[in-house]
Amino acid sequence: MSSLRLGRRAVGFGLLAAPLAAPFVATRTRAGSGEPLRIRLDWTPWGAHAAIHLASVKGWYRDAGLDVTVDDGNGTNQTVQIVGGGDDVDVGHAALSSMIIARGKGLNLKAIASYVRTSDIGVMIPVDSPIRAIKDLRGKRVGYTASSLETPFLGLFLKAGGLTRDDVELVNLDGATKLAAYLTGKLDGAFSSIPFFVPVVETQRKSRAIMLADAGLRMPSYGLFARDSDIKAKQAALTRFASVTDGAWAYVAAGHQEESVAAIHTARPNAKLNAAAMLGQVNSFISFFKTDATKDAPVGKMAPVDWTDAMKTLASADLIPKGLAATDCYSNDLFDSSLYARTVGTKA
């Protein structure tokens, strides 16, 4: 089993978030007076949080009989460990691949909704670069962060383009240094979380990406997860939370992106947010919603084939034990179609 620390695929996440938010300060939003639920996000405000903040600000959780507290996080790894290791937090919002790895190591966590249904990790390259496919990385200088989740997949990714690690100048840099090197042209490309970083660099080095999924390395990213015990004990409340959040994302995707960015500002008034970059993140996040298996499914619902692919991908990098079953890692049971439809149909 790899010794890779969970959720550290963007070790410089906080530093790189500087254009979007102030340095990490524990902040929270409370919405409602019903059954209490506490939610832990992956980080300080960014576009992936749009639907949760919108539902809080609009009172949609309250209307569903919930008293929801939303806490900012300090990285996927910490969110996974906090949700899995105690009973203070009911739901985590972070990278589900890291949650799967944690389950393989003994934390009884399970996904209850998936939004970025394939990996968000890719190699970021300038839009005017001649690099169009993995094979075009031959001889190029590409940044990565050794402690991040892309690292176990570098060889497999390059192999899909007929390359080896020796064919590419792979430069191990911490997150902040990697971003600076990319922005100044010292790197031809950089591995990163694409929906987060491509909008951040938009004004300085407009970029596109070649994704891990393009190499057949498919695994879920951002979504909601909870402990097995709470899924059983708090099923009704968790179902309402997940269904409203799913519906809120469908509402945002139906042309309400700017409204959702405004909600982030309302929920986090003391954060120094870049509205244009935030809007870009929301749009980029939405672009990762659908796979072939979920193109006709409600937002948040998970397809068995996608999760089977995820287990194969993670096992190929020795990140999970071979006996871990996909069905142990996710559940579609916490979905209320009527509540989802009611949320989607809310008038602006």
Q: What is the pLDDT of residues 255-267, one digit of tens each?
A: 999 999 999 999 9
Strands 141-144, 189-193: parallel, antiparallel or unpaired by DSSP?
A: parallel
* pLDDT computed for residue 3 by the predictor: 34
Domains of the chain from N-terminus onward: 24-118+219-344 (3.40.190.10), 121-215 (3.40.190.10)
Q: What is the pLDDT of residues 127-147, one digit of tens each?
A: 999 999 999 999 999 999 998
CA distance 224 to 232: 16
Residue 125 · residue 131 · CB < 8 Å: yes
Q: What is the pLDDT of residues 152-197, one digit of tens each?
A: 999 999 999 999 999 999 999 998 999 999 999 999 999 999 999 9
Compute the average pLDDT of residues 104-130: 97
Whether the predicted pLDDT of 306 surpasses 80 = yes
* Cα–Cα distances in angstroms (integers) from residue 165 to residues 140, 282, 292, 313, in the given order: 11, 33, 30, 19
Q: Which residues contact 28 (CB under 8 A, 6 or more apart)?
A: 69, 70, 71, 72
CA angle 283, 286, 291 (to 5 degrees): 145
Beta-carbon neighbour count of residue 268 at 10 Å? 22
* pLDDT computed for residue 7 by the predictor: 33
CA angle 20, 153, 205 (to 5 degrees): 35
Give the three-class secondary structure for 41: coil
Residue 252 · residue 55 · CB < 8 Å: no
CA distance 184 to 65: 50
Closest CA to 119 of 223, 1, 263, 2: 223
Q: What is the pLDDT of residues 7-58, one digit of tens each?
A: 333 333 333 343 343 333 446 565 556 899 999 999 999 999 999 999 999 9
Closest CA to 39 of 55, 25, 23, 20: 55
Q: Which phi and psi (to 5°) does residue 99 adopt?
A: -65, -40
Provide, rounded to the nearest whole percent, the portion of the chain with pLDDT above 90.
86
* pLDDT computed for residue 137 by the predictor: 98
* pLDDT computed for residue 28 by the predictor: 59
Residue 53 · residue 267 · CB < 8 Å: yes
Mean pLDDT score across all residues of the chain: 91
* pLDDT computed for residue 346 by the predictor: 75
* pLDDT computed for residue 300 by the predictor: 98
Compute the average pLDDT of residues 273-298: 96
Provide, rounded to the nearest whole percent, the portion of the chain with pLDDT above 70.
90
Q: What is the pLDDT of residues 88-109, one digit of tens each?
A: 999 999 999 999 999 999 999 9
CA angle 111, 113, 114 (to 5 degrees): 95
Beta-carbon neighbour count of residue 229 at 10 Å? 10
Tokens (6 digits) for 113: 């909704």
